[in-house]
Chains A and B, each alone.
Chain A
Amino acid sequence: MAILSIDNLTKNYKSVKALDKVSFSVPSKTVFGILGPNGSGKTTLLGIVMDVINPSAGTYTWEGSHESAHDRRKKIGTLLETPNFYHYLSAEKNLMIAARIKGRGEADIAKVLKMVNLYERKDSRFNTFSLGMKQRLAIASALLGDPDILVFDEPTNGLDPAGIAEIRELIKELFKSGKTIIMASHILDEVEKVCTHVAIIQKGVLKTVGPVAELMDTPEVDTGGSLLIEISATDNNGLKNALKQLAGVETVTEVENTLQLVCTEKITGEILNRFCFDNGIVLNKLNVKRKSLETRFLEITGKQSDK
């Protein structure tokens, strides 16, 4: 079942097309990543589905509820773009306002503050917080009322490495507990590590969408192969020559005494190892890699930055 269906969403800012006929749906109980370079339209997209930005064309539907749009939002925990709080109020008072708007009890406040390690600072004013603490408070606010759907826009923004790891763990735990998480990020590694599904957006255009695993396994027409295998032997030149005889090996590139082979799905580590052994070559390294999301991302979006 789809939690959110987006149909032909378009947003124009004067001459700039921030979103161009984007359509996809977010399946229930997934971690759905919206991946794209800076300025690709991720925040605009989330802003539209949260009703703070009006679309120029197209529609969206949050499924599974017959309530009005704003009552539906009360049951979605959202962090959009930046942590937005009253600077002169304490962390706790800020969460009190959010909880009351959501129509939730205030019993949750202490719990969510503990989840993001901010409980000791609950009485400190928001403007005394560091960027990372502000971000964690925003995540705490999204967790109020234990919503089934969470929308995170760049959730690890401004966090230190330990904080990033904590939040990623938290997202994984939320996913395991059966929640749907929609997460925008420009960090490939983050999406690869955390998300089950991904939509790649570039300059407002949806490039591809699907489960992360499937996306990384899809062979690309121009390069052919989808497996990357790294091997080496004492005599790399002899190995290179021998590999010409093996069907399924598309390209061979030597990088720092290691041969990188792009192969079709037919090749496995075992086949390759047996082949070399039969040809009198003993491998001292064999590493079978799937194509990383980064490779796919660059294939899909091109190598140039949008900026």
Chain B
Amino acid sequence: MIKLLKIEWLKIKNYTGFILLTSFFAVGVFATNYIAYLFIKNVMNKVEVSKLLLSGSPFDFDSVWKTVSYYSSFLLMLPALLIVILISNEFNYKTHRQNIIDGWSRFEFLKVKLATALIFALGSTLVVIITALIFGLSTGSAFSFNGFENIAYFLLKAVTYNMVGLLIALLTKKSGVAIALFFIYTIFENGVSMLLFFLAVKVKNDSGTDLSNLGNYLPMNASDGLLSSPLDQFSGITKSIIPYNNNMLVLTFALCYLIIFYLWSKRKMIKTDL
């Protein structure tokens, strides 16, 4: 596997898109959190009520793990986009064929892509951990691992995004189409989720049955759902409408989707003509 990854690294390290997108991500994570930090600090200074509701800044330990994970997760599109581009490049240049002609098995080709998706997710998570440490420590709060599970949720979300990107690239084989479809899909899922949410509210009003929000169980939302906004705790509104008490169920769904994505991409790679 290390041998395969070393070859993959030869392909990736000189690719401008890789350097650009990874830098955007690293800088973006820091910038986004810094903006949120400034914003919250400002609001907290001005609005007396929030001071009463909040004990400490969301950028203090323990909340910082949750806060930074949440804001950074908006940027997970970038590594996933990179996965989409790297895989569709192979189809575009027909190097996926050449790699196999030269002696990789079809599964080896997929395996190294899966590993890359996982490594990108781990890398993104590492950036988030470092950012959280910087903010947490700079606010002068006492270091703590409490709430570190949010980092795990972030990792899960990163893996899911990258897997969705990988699958879409394998299915479409064309970079333009794959990128468009990736964005359309995320918008589509949010749309469907919204519709299901309204449906759930209606059902609750009509019959009293609480369906919660079924949209939370869709592939990308399931991994999203585990990361809630750090401001929920004092807004109090979002939480009452969207119950996140089904964490275990949402987690199960998220893991099931990952298994489905894996099996689907394997089938695609092994069974079809390249």
A257 at interface, CB cutoff 8 A: no
Least CB distance, B8 to chain A, in whole angstroms: 9
How many A residues have CB within 8 A of the partner chain? 31
Within 8 A of B (CB), among A48-86: 50-54, 68-71, 73-74, 78, 80-82, 84-86
Majority DSSP secondary structure for residues of A touching B = loop
Within 8 A of A (CB), among B69-102: 89, 93-95, 97-102
Cβ–Cβ < 8 Å partners of A141 in chain B: 102
Cβ–Cβ < 8 Å partners of A103 in chain B: 103
B108 at interface, CB cutoff 8 A: yes
Cβ–Cβ < 8 Å partners of A80 in chain B: 97-98, 101
Verify A102–B272 contact, CB threshold 8 A: no
> Contact check: which of B6, B93, B97, B103 meets A52 at CB < 8 Å?
B97
Interface string of B2-37 (1 = CB under 8 A from A): 010011001100111000000000000000000000
Among the 9-residue stretches A93-101, A173-181, A241-249, the one with 4 or more Cβ atoms under 8 Å from chain B is A93-101
B183 at interface, CB cutoff 8 A: no
Cβ–Cβ < 8 Å partners of B89 in chain A: 86
Cβ–Cβ < 8 Å partners of B271 in chain A: 54
Least CB distance, B12 to chain A, in whole angstroms: 10
B50 at interface, CB cutoff 8 A: no
Verify A88–B16 contact, CB threshold 8 A: yes
B139 at interface, CB cutoff 8 A: no
Bound form: Cα–Cα A194–B98 in Å: 25
Bound form: Cα–Cα A102–B104 in Å: 8
- With A96-B10, A100-B6, A100-B10 in contact, is A53–B98 under 8 Å at CB? no
Cβ–Cβ < 8 Å partners of B246 in chain A: none
Bound form: Cα–Cα A255–B176 in Å: 59
A89 at interface, CB cutoff 8 A: yes
Within 8 A of B (CB), among A115-159: 141
Interface centre among B94, B98, B100, B271 (most CB of A within 10 A): B98
Verify A93–B14 contact, CB threshold 8 A: yes
Verify A74–B95 contact, CB threshold 8 A: no
Given contacts A73-B103, A98-B102, 12 further A-B contacts (CB under 8 A): A50-B101, A52-B273, A52-B274, A78-B101, A82-B94, A84-B93, A84-B94, A86-B11, A86-B89, A96-B10, A100-B3, A100-B10
Query: What are 11 A-B residue pairs whose CB atoms fall within 8 Å in the complex?
Result: A54-B271, A70-B100, A71-B103, A73-B101, A80-B98, A80-B101, A93-B10, A100-B10, A101-B99, A101-B102, A101-B104
